[in-house]
Amino acid sequence: MKTILTYGTFDLFHIGHLRLLQRLRSLGDRLVVGVSTDDFNRVKNKNTVVPFADRIKIVESIRDVDLVIPETCWEQKVKDIQEHSVSIFGMGNDWEGRFDYLKDYCEVVYLPRTEGISSTHIRKTLKVLDQTHVGELKQALDLISSIVERFD
């Protein structure tokens, strides 16, 4: 049996996440997915929108995923590879080279990301709705209004 292992935060779950998991699963017989805990994301200076308990339930519900485990620290990867008899460790190619040290334990692959979609992009798009940005937009409109009034 060929087991694949990957990790991710999977915040604002989107089609890119789904396609990556599907492509990883197609490389073997079993897919194990580590979902970053909220505490670990704070260590990585990441703020999530969706809490860990919900993110792990979302990933567990995907038919291509056989097992979901919490990712609590960078150092757990070697232990997880050994514990789950992992043949392939896979990540998106935005992580290219960062996990090459795991080649001592299994094959390491970096798969292309889905073009045009990322949690970062979604977060930037949603930022327009952030209260701070709404205030900035209001100030800009007030300034434009005062300029227009000068020409009336």
Q: Catalytic residue at 103?
A: no
Q: What confidence score (pLDDT) does residue 15 get?
A: 84
The residue annotated as part of the active site, out of 46, 103, 124, 138, is 46
Q: What is the pTM of this model?
A: 0.78
Q: What confidence score (pLDDT) does residue 129 get?
A: 61
The residue annotated as part of the active site, out of 44, 57, 79, 103, is 44
Q: Give residue-wise pLDDT tens across range 48-92.
A: 888 999 999 999 999 999 999 999 999 999 999 999 999 999 999
Q: Catalytic residue at 124?
A: no
Q: Give residue-wise pLDDT tens across range 96-125.
A: 999 999 999 999 999 988 776 666 665 666
**Could you please report the per-residue DSSP string of the chain?**
--EEEEEE--TT--HHHHHHHHHHHTTSSEEEEEEE-HHHHHHTT---SS-HHHHHHHHHT-TT--EEEEE--TTHHHHHHHHTTEEEEEEEGGGTTTTGGGGGTSEEEEEPPPTT--HHHHHHHHHTTSHHHHHHHHHHHHHHHHHHHHT-
